[in-house]
Amino acid sequence: MEEALSSKFYITTPIYYVNDIPHIGHAYTTIIVDALARFHRLLGQEVFFLTGTDEHGQKIEQAAAKKGKNPKEYVDEISKRFKDIWESFGISYDKFIRTTDSYHIQTAQKAFLKMYQRGDIYKGEYEGNYCISCEAFFTKSQLIEGGRCPDCKKETTLVKEESYFFKLSAYQERLLEFYKQHSDFIFPKSRYNEVIRFIEDGLEDLSITRTSFDWGVKLPSEIANKDSKKHIMYVWLDALINYLSALGYENESDDKMEFWPVNYHIVGKDILRFHAIYWLAFLMSLELPLPRHIAAHGWWTKDGAKMSKSVGNVVNPQEIVNAYGLDCFRYFILREVSFGQDGDFSQKALIERINADLSNDLGNLLNRLLGMSAKYFNNHLRVDIQAFKAHYKEELESIHKILMGLELLMQEVQIHRYLEELWKIFALANGMIAKKEPWRLVKEDKMQEVAELLVFIANLLIKAAFCLSPCMPKTAKEILDVFNIPLESKHYLEFIKNNQIISEMVLMPIMALFPKIETPLLEEKQIKTQHFITKEEFSKIEIKVGTILGAEIMPKSEKLLKLQVDLGEERERQIIAGIKSYYTTQELIGKQVCVLANLKPAKLMGELSEGMILAVSDDDGLSLIQPQAIKKNGSQIS
């Protein structure tokens, strides 16, 4: 796939859902987009790079309530964390959008009205299984065992409510025809068939409003009469519209619609369907040009295991960058895994990449050039250009061929292959040093041959640095500083496109780029292991059903509540529980819970606690364990 170069280039990350702090998956997506944006700036294009946060929905409303905050306070806090980490990572975005921004809300309402007036939106009643975690509905045939979500495997909720619907079914044939004509629309191509199968299975009209919660974009005033004021937009409709609102579509912000259609939406594989089907249908309804490409990457695991806060193996990208450096982290996640495949993060793999690829292949090559240039030529290299080109004709042609193939790999989002090909240049240079043995040439007083070899390595490093810069911008600049060449588009075109060669240069020494790493720089978190107990040990545990009769806030504590629990005994038990962040005192009264009843009493903040309330927690928070039906207080769980 080779496309004509336009003067404008528009690329996006998804807008990240603000239900948690940024993790390695967010960093991976954002760094991919940053690399692509930097590459297209090198080509001389005017780039618009969009990222931001998705801030509406039931899950956000619930998370805020558990934190004792209103939704806006909560999303302000989490959105800032995303913006702060991208700025600390030097991410070169042009706009950071939030779905709570007034101009975005204006666009979402105008787009909804346009689709409504076109006849693509109608009011009806919806009944279906809704996954709060994924903010998505599923048919019964799509659910997995136990009525759970096929994507996140969590329980779904049967929802029945009045809803506005988008006529997705009306676009089924048009979508299939589009994909038939654009088989290279999705990267990697293996995902293409997945989308086609989903469409061919039959598209149902999409419920696009909710009435069961309030935190979302209200319907436009032209529609929101007394019967519809309770409706808010479905989070995915609201979210996808951001790609237009950021450009000023139907709002009062700066008009940048000349960047539309977008060149690349970069997304995780779990949200491909929303972008490849729903988003395209919305755009068809709005009569706007469709995106040029959607690229879906895989997920990251940690040491072969799925990341989970409860297990304690979530990779914090800021910690990795603080320990190993930003460019090392960028190189690892871009190089380690084929785009579209799942990747596994471990310090061992990261250190191996740093030592082998960065320290040995690249860093050592630059060190050898600087060392020999200083020792033999006082950092001033000069050769006859014609003789040099003649002597290194074959090698220069090989390098140019590699460099000319890189643009296509970047266009197809094969950044791992891009880096793999680029490293062939460093291998060629290191191989030439081994072959020419410059230390031997010096002894034989063949200084011109040594100078030609060093000029060859220097030109190779200059060219490679420009191509490396989208992936490792700091490293590339440090390499080019050695030769006093600015990292600018015009010089990229000179050295890469026009194949310029420098025959005379003065080198500026720098510190070694990538010192070897002998031991991990971060202490590994201990992963929880399973501990087995005997039946005899289990028989000693008394878990009983009880009813909460009273609940008070513990003064000076952010987590603790003081509960009075009826366990069918002569008196109520007082139990101190760390659930203040998840439950209010009012909603606990009358709730039946499971209590570890024979736990040794203990004092917490001066109050006696006579047992333990059982609860379960995961990435979405904490829930009390309760019997499915009302049971007699004191009933023992066995």
Residues that constitute the known binding site for Zn(2+)? 131, 134, 149, 152
Radius of gyration of the chain (CA): 30
At 611, which amino acid appears? G
C-alpha distances out from residue 551 to 239, 564, 573, 591, Å: 39, 6, 12, 11
Tokens 């062939």: give the residue. Answer: 424
What is the DSSP track for 89-145? TT---SEEEETTSHHHHHHHHHHHHHHHHTT-EEEEEEEEEEETTTTEEE-TTT-BT
Q: Coil, helix or strand for 467?
A: helix
Q: Which two tokens stand for residue 120?
A: 């693509």
Token pair listed for 238: 């609201």
- Token reading at 625: 């364990």
Q: Name residue, tokens 């659930």.
A: 579
In the three-class reduction of DSSP (H, G, I as helix; E, B as strand; rest coil), residue 205 is classed as coil
Please state the residue numbers annotated as binding site: 131, 134, 149, 152
Structure tokens at 85: 């980490």
Structure tokens at 394: 């074959």
- Dist CA 446 CA 48 (whole Å): 52
Output the CA angle 496-46-495, nearest 5 degrees: 10
* Phi-psi sector, 153: left (phi>0), alpha (psi -120 to 50), beta: left
Dist CA 263 CA 410 (whole Å): 13
CA atoms of 57 and 65, how far apart (whole Å): 13
Angstrom distance (rounded) from CA 41 to CA 191? 28
309 contacts 619 by C-beta, under 8 angstroms = yes
Q: For strand 615-618 and strand 209-210, is the pairing parallel, antiparallel, or unpaired?
A: unpaired
Strand, helix or coil for residue 287: coil
Helix (H) or strand (E) holding 607: strand 607-609
Contact between 20 and 619 (Cβ < 8 Å) = yes
Token look-up 């059903």 returns 545
Q: Which amino acid is at 349?
A: A
What are residue 165's DSSP bridge partners?
Answer: 122, 207
3-state DSSP assignment of residue 290? coil
18 is written with which tokens?
Answer: 């603000």
- The CA distance from 551 to 548, in Å, is 7
Sequence letter at residue 123? K
Nearest to 330 by CA among 152, 190, 468: 468
Map residue 161 onto helix, strand or coil. strand
Distance CA 545, CA 46 (A): 65
Backbone angles phi, psi at 130, to 5 degrees: -110, 130
Structure tokens at 128: 């279906």
Q: Which amino acid, residue 411?
A: Q
Give the count of beta carbons closer than 10 Å to the beta carbon of residue 584: 14
Q: Are strands 206-207 and 209-210 parallel, antiparallel or unpaired?
A: unpaired
Q: Tell me how far apart the alpha carbons of residues 234 and 207 are, in angstroms, rounded to a whole number.
A: 7
